[in-house]
Structure 1
Amino acid sequence: MSTISIVLGENFFKKDPQSSDLGRKIVSKGIIVLDELGFEEFTFKKLAESIESTEASVYRYFKNKHKFLVYLSTYYWSWLEYVIAFETHHFSDAKVKLENIIRIVCHAQDFPDALDLPEVDISKLRSVIDKESDKTYLNRNVDEINSKGLFTGYKSLCSKIAEVVAQIDPKYPYPRALVSMIMEASHQQVFFAQHLPSLTEVSKGKPKRLEEQAADFLNHTVMHSLK
């Protein structure tokens, strides 16, 4: 049984969804509906229908669907930061640690049941991140969103991974740029393989899972960049 509790600040919601059964249902079912419909077709009305509630009840928790996506993304990155700490704290070799971090970021390995999130389908949440997370910042309100601290979880995770990069090669001039590339490519390469296969060598036709192939590609690229 999971013991992980992700706590996010009040800027992410109007009412904390973790504070009630309805709120937790909105999050858990919202992930599934968002994954099925995509961000463009997803609405709070459709989500409300799926949980046999009202659209107004969903709006009591979240201002709009973009805020809901930001919440889910931050929830995911906060969970991933915990997983990385749990799974790699025992590695003393920074290179080995970074290789394992990349595998975790790519979901190229299975995680213990103890790292599950309560009432959340991690595979569905990861699918949402793969397809929709770019929309949290690729919009005209990105500066306002950032000023409210809504990207703190993502930036915190990137910063901690950049510290590992610096341990491997203290003179490498672009640790944060390298890490942000890792984070984006970890889901983009899988998406490309599924929908735009001419853009990548990651392929459904190979023996390894797409996530494992993406991890292999990123480890190859990163380790050739670092001394």
Structure 2
Amino acid sequence: MDSILANIAITVNEKLYLKNPETSNLGKKIINSSILLIDEIGFENFTFKKLGDKIASNESSIYRYFESKHKLMLYLSSWYWSWIEYKLVFATNNVDNPLEKLKKGITIVTEKINDDSETQHINEAVLNRIIIAEFTKTLLTKEVDDENKEGFFSIYKRVINRLVVMIEEVKPDYEFSKTLASSIVEGALHQHFLQIHLKTITNCDQKISPTDFYVQLIENLLK
């Protein structure tokens, strides 16, 4: 187990930053405060100038870490999916029953996130709200193909492919395992968004979670 988790350390593509923010107090402050500020005002209204004002630092100091707010958002997204992958491996590694393993995996990628006290400079609960509201904006760009070639979405794809393996272990002849896995991950974010903002077009509420829906879906689909 330790050797498996050692290979799932929370890592981010080095091309997303100019200087690793994890290596300095200012860098960690930039990450912490950017999460809180994006959550407060939204990514469209977020600027490095506003972030600099919030952390009482020059805007230029932020540019020493990230060349653009888009790269910062990609960094936050990659960190989040790397953290989810860590949780996914940890939760499913010792589960032998394929269906139970898949259900645990689905729970990890669809559940509401609580803050992890182990990472003091990152509030995962707030970051989860940002991913729900903003993640698709990192994909729906003209640069997505080039950024994909650079490996910016590799961790996100790795999470999905881990679910693909679990689906195929439950039903090896199921021909849409990749489509199902990506639909679960992406659909859960959308259902959380609807639950918060457009309540009349989802059954998810205080009693029914996106996790409940997707677990029931795969139980019926993969019989």
TM-score by length of 2: 0.91
Give the match for residue 221 of structure 1.
217
Does residue 1:168 correspond to 2:170, yes or no? Answer: yes
Provide Cα deviations, 1:121-180, integer angstroms capped at 9, x if missing partner.
110010110100001101111111111110001011111111000000000011111111
CA distance in 2, matches of 1:91, 1:112: 23
1:16 aligns with 2:20: yes
Aligned residue number for residue 6 of structure 1:
10
Kept after mapping to 1: 8 A contact 2:13/2:151: no
CA distance 1:16–1:155, change in 2 (3 Å): same
Q: Which residue of structure 2 lines up, in the alignment, with residue 69 of structure 1?
A: 73
Matched, 1:47 2:43: no
Query: Where in structure 2 are the equivalents of 1:1-227 lying within 5 Å?
Result: 6-108=10-112, 116-203=118-205, 206=206, 208=207, 213-227=209-223
Query: Identity of paired residues, percent?
Result: 36
Looking at structure 1, the residues matched to 26 and 68 of structure 2 have their Cα atoms a distance apart, in angstroms, of 17
Letter paired with 1:99:
K
Tell me which moved more, 11-20 or 217-226: 217-226
Contact preservation (8 Å) 2:110, 2:211: yes
Q: Which amino acid aligns with 2:214?
A: L
8 A contact 1:103–1:109 mirrored in 2 = no
Residue type at the aligned position of 1:97: K
CA distance in 1, matches of 2:72, 2:167: 32
Could you say what the CA RMSD is over the residues aligned between the two structures, in angstroms?
1.9
Q: What is the CA distance between 1:96 and its match in structure 2?
A: 0.5
Greater Cα shift, 60-69 or 4-13: 4-13
CA positional deviation for 1:9: 2.7
- SS, match of residue 119 in structure 1: coil
User: What amino acid does structure 2 have at the position aligned with 1:86?
Assistant: F
Structure 1 match to 2:3:
none
Normalising by the residue count of structure 1, what TM-score does the alignment of the two structures yield?
A: 0.90
Query: How many aligned positions are there?
Result: 217
- Structure 1 spans left out of the alignment, 5+ residues: none
Alpha-carbon distance between aligned partners in 1 of 2:221 and 2:9, rounded to the nearest angstrom:
36
